[in-house]
Structure 1
Amino acid sequence: MAVQKSRRLPPLSGVLVLVMASTGLVVVDLTIVAIGLPLISADVADGNSAESVVVTYMVAMGALTQAAGSLSDRWGRRPLFLAGLAVFTLASLAATLAQDLWWLNAARILQGCGAAVIMVNGIPLISDRYTGEERNLAIGAWGSLATAAGLLAPTLGGVLIDTFGWRAVFAINLPLGAAALVLAARVLPPASPAPASTGRPDWTGSLLLMLGLGTATLLMLRPGGTAWTGQDTVALLTACLALVAFLVLQLRVPVPTLELRMFTRPAFCGAMLAVLLSRVLTVGGSVYLVLYLSDGLGLSPTSAGLLMTPIFLAQIATGMVGSKLLSHLAPGLVISSGYLLKGIGFMALALLVTPDTPWWALLGPLLAWGAGGGIAGAPVMAVAVQVTEPERIGMVAGTVSTLASLGAGIGTAALGAVFTLYDGTSTGSQAVADGTRAVLTASAALASIAVATTLVLLHPRRAPRPDRSKASAR
């Protein structure tokens, strides 16, 4: 019997191209605007801080993802995805024409809402289009493209702003968004997944979750070093009460926004914990490593950014490797091996960090960090999809996006506390090196926790077996 040669890449389809391109737009807009903040401040904020332009987008996106994912399971991927693209594109036009900071922030909130709908429909659309190993490879390609978009954003932003001004970072979305709308109308199938239930949507739960997540995200995005105020206390209580009320409500309503019973499956819990820890480590760790490169080693912002590039390049290069390994090995082994490699990178960096370390000595550990993230990343998404009913894939995508946003905020805040605790024992560049070493050591410990929990929760008895089928894109 002839043996079919294993694929290295998923078969290209209009749906995959659309999802990858649209996701790229969303990810780029997370960071591209930060490059133009000084010019935005001078033009429409009367010289005042314009950081809210970044924060409002992230808060809106983080607050809406779970509700948007659950609604896509009920109303269908096509109408929600088209609506998300339309809102994102029109909001980009409004941002391009903004005359003051309030106008610009309102446009960014709408952009974040559209981005949330686009983002959470990516995995469901891929899952509806592909099966078997090809689905794993398509998810890996999607994740690698998202990483590449994040890497490209600062450079693209700099070129656009230097050439055309800050409004260009929003104007570039107009032709790209319009092209994505035309492509979506042509390639997205009209069929929708069968709803999990025919009852009334959980509007109250969705509003409570958006209130809780939005407030929590806003708190985690507070500038470091600022004093805690009474308003912050009120916001914290609001977030806690809203989230507790949401969880209680989910056990009572017939059509929940988040099906809590999914968390009774060890494999699903393992995948979700891996998503959370991944963002804690990647975002939190990189923030303080960049601080070390600039304030500890004295590198320029451009040089510090370039030295971080090996992390992203290695993650892109190995993203498909993790997806491929998932067809031959148990998911727990693949994901834990990625976290093990990531932890080795963190520990090696911790041993090397001093004010006198040559920059080239950091390249090996940085590559290990990125390669580990690439190997572990895509299999996590594939496992979450495989242990979930097809009619709930949108809900799962929303949960993944929500946990990723929370992980980024938690990582920045928690590792920031570690940095502050250990950098006070010395001064100058040595203080920065000491704080960064503590952050990297804590990151290595968290990576080891991720290895252990992944091996336990994604044990072959609990996780889906490797899927070796080669079904073509439907």
Structure 2
Amino acid sequence: MAPPAPALRMGTASGRGTLLAAVLASGMVFLDSTVVNVALPRLGRDLGATVAGLQWTVNGYLLMLAAFVLLGGALGDRFGRRRIFLLGVVWFTLASLLCGLAQDTTQLIAARFLQGAGGALLTPGSLSVLQASFHPDDRARAIGAWSGLSGVSTALGPFIGGLLIDALSWRWIFFLNVPLAVLVVLAALRWVPESRDVEASRTEGPGRRRRRFDVAGALLGAVALAGVTYALIDAPARGFDSAPVLVAALVGVVGAVVFVLVERRRGDSAMLPTGLFGSRLFSVLNIFTVAVYAALGGFTFFLAVYLQNVVGWSAFLTGISLLPMTVLLLVGSARAGALSARIGPRLPLTVGPVVAALGLVLLREVDPGASYWRDVLPGVLLFGAGLTLVVAPLTASVLAAVEDRFAGVASGFNNAASRAGGLLAVAALPLLVGLSGTGYEQEADLTDAYRGAMLWCAGLLVAGAVMAAVLIHRPPREAVEGRAPS
């Protein structure tokens, strides 16, 4: 039997309630992807964390999101999008409570892993619920409203987080998720209709073949990322030739190789159908994504710690220092997407990273006692302008580089690629710039590391620009305006 046609309309109570649930839920995930960077110096001091502890606080979350977000979407298609969405909200909230109650770094990192797993269930559900529930005439408006309002929550996150950290404690950036989650659950139970992919949920029978989950692919992807990440983070303390580092690196490499073999064998039923990489454009765009989002992840990780521990700013001032960058993204992304649709993605994806790299070169020179208006804002504006030129054209080009039937998995993989870029940058940059132990609390050590990290991030952006200029062309079919990977 065919599923009922989606019927929610934007002007109805059910439509508004469904949109509210999706926006608040995704806002929690976006908030905890950004605001934790602002809290790192304070929680590091309170818990006696090393640089490795701070890295894992960020990367435990990113690792689970990157590895399992595609599986989370598949679970929603199979067992019910609202059901998995609600499970993700409750899971994420309980893990947030554990983060806020953590008494040492080990407890916090474990809770962040759990929080990332909840986010992997929640993130794809917030958008797929809108896609499946709204009438086709209102679907684009609903998704556009979700994108804009979720962007606002991302912009407000560091602002609100900075206030909470200064006025109360870093723990409250996690406790804040509790009242938000209560609103999400109430709204979802009241207004969000249940939906599922009939083909994904059909039972065995004559002429029917149950579609299986690619759990092996998800686990192998997590093992590959975890092994490489552990080796990069632990190498400064243990040494490159220590057994744990060598074993972790080997596990990561073997996991990556086996992942590719397993996905190739599963064909179109794989979590990541390897046939997608038959499109050279799709492959290049995702490598470009890793480079650009690695620069973004490394930049925000180091800047938040540097502004507080060296320049001497409060968590609140640090939180709002990047607000102009987010405003530029909110205001300019649609225009950048329209420009790319007219002239093709090559020019925006070449010019954008160069402009962002110039911003990082300016920010590299920020000294203790720096003025925000004179020393920080110009670099932030340049970085934000460059990123604005990249985000929408990149996402639209990724979707246009593959067949329509693979749009969901292509978008999900690009989302995972962006998170993996940030994950690897936070793992590798402290090693590359010689920051370890409690060096982030020493002004001279942190200053040298920060300046080196800004150069590495600028170099990644320039490498992305060269890649775009040489290898990226207009997709073979018309691209639609995209949105940033969350």
Relative to the length of structure 1, the TM-score reads 0.75
Contact 1:96 1:171 in 2 (8 A): yes
Aligned to 2:28: 25
Which range is displaced more, 120-129 or 80-89?
Answer: 120-129
Amino acid at match of 1:278: V
Task: Confirm or deny: 8 A CA contact 2:399 2:479 kept in the other structure.
Answer: no
Q: 1:144 aligns to what?
A: 151
Amino acid at match of 2:71: A
Note the residue ranges of structure 2 that are not aligned, 5 or more in a row: 1-9, 202-208, 436-441, 482-486
Matched, 1:274 2:288: yes
Asked if 1:264 corresponds to 2:278, the answer is yes
Q: Does 1:179 align with 2:183?
A: yes
Q: Deviations over 1:335-373 (max 9, x none)?
A: 3343232133234545x5678976514422320101221
Counterpart position of 2:123: 119
Structure 1 pair 243–18 and aligned structure 2 pair: CA distance change class (3 A): same
| Shift in alpha-carbon separation, 1:144–1:29, aligned structure 2, 3 A | closer
Residues 75-474 of structure 1: pairs in structure 2 closer than 5 A: 75=79, 77-92=81-96, 107-125=111-129, 137=144, 141=148, 144-145=151-152, 147-152=154-159, 154-158=161-165, 162-163=167-168, 168-185=172-189, 186-188=191-193, 190-192=195-197, 194-195=199-200, 198-222=210-234, 227-228=239-240, 229-254=242-267, 255-289=269-303, 293=307, 298-302=311-315, 306-349=320-363, 360-389=374-403, 392-416=406-430, 419-420=433-434, 436-460=450-474, 462-467=475-480
Go from structure 1 to structure 2 and tell me whether the alpha carbon gap of 1:209 and 1:122 turns closer, same or farther (over 3 Å shift).
same
C-alpha distance after superposition, 1:160-192 (max 9, x if no partner): xx44x6664444323321321233342356253
- 1:188-246 Cα deviation digits (max 9, x unpaired): 56253755984332232332223223333444555966644322222221122122111
Cα distance per residue 1:119-154 (max 9 Å; x no partner)? 234454566567998688557526634641543353
Partner of 2:438: none
CA 1:91–1:356: 2 relative to 1, 3 Å: closer
Shift of 1:250: 0.9
Looking at structure 2, the residues matched to 221 and 399 of structure 1 have their Cα atoms a distance apart, in angstroms, of: 24
* RMSD, aligned α-carbons: 4.3
Q: How many residues are matched? A: 444
d(CA) in 1 for partners of 2:265, 2:333? 40
| Alpha-carbon distance between aligned partners in 2 of 1:440 and 1:39, rounded to the nearest angstrom | 23
Q: 1:307: how far off?
A: 4.1
5 Å-filtered alignment, 1:51-90, equals 56-72=60-76, 74-75=78-79, 77-90=81-94
**Alignment check: 8 A CA contact 2:59 2:426 kept:** no
* C-alpha deviation, 1:158, in angstroms: 1.3
Aligned to 1:84, what secondary structure does the other structure show? helix
One-letter identity of the residue aligned with 2:225: L
1:212 and 1:243 in contact (8 A); partners too: yes
SS of residue paired to 2:265: coil
Change (3 A) 1:282 1:223: farther
- Match for 1:87: what amino acid? W
| Secondary structure class of the residue paired with 1:250 | helix
- Is 1:346–1:444's contact at 8 Å kept on the other side of the alignment? yes
- Equivalent-residue separation in structure 1 for 2:429 and 2:103 (angstroms): 38
Matched with 2:484 is none
Q: What displacement does 1:116 show?
A: 1.3
* SS of corresponding position for 1:253: helix
Q: CA deviation at 1:247?
A: 1.0
CA, structure 1 residues 41+253, in 2 after alignment: closer, same or farther (shift >3 Å)? same
Separation (CA, whole Å) in 2 of partners of 1:446 and 1:101: 30
Q: Percent identity?
A: 24
* 1:471 alignment counterpart: none
Q: How far apart are 1:27 and its partner, in Å?
A: 2.5
Give the CA deviation at 1:259: 0.8
Q: Distance in 1 between matches of 2:427 and 2:228?
A: 12
Partner Cα distance (1:217, 1:37) in 2:
21
| Range with bigger deviation, 24-33 or 94-103 | 94-103
State the distance in 1 between where 2:363 and 2:446 align. Answer: 14
Q: More relative contact order in 1 or in 2 (CA 8 Å, sep 6+)?
A: 1
Q: 1:221 to 1:133 in 2, by over 3 A?
A: farther
Q: 1:252 Cα shift?
A: 1.1
- TM-score after normalising by structure 2: 0.73
In 2: Cα distance, 1:288 partner to 1:41 partner: 16
Distance 2:403 2:294 in 1: 28
**Distance 1:127-1:340 versus aligned 2 partners, 3 A rule:** farther
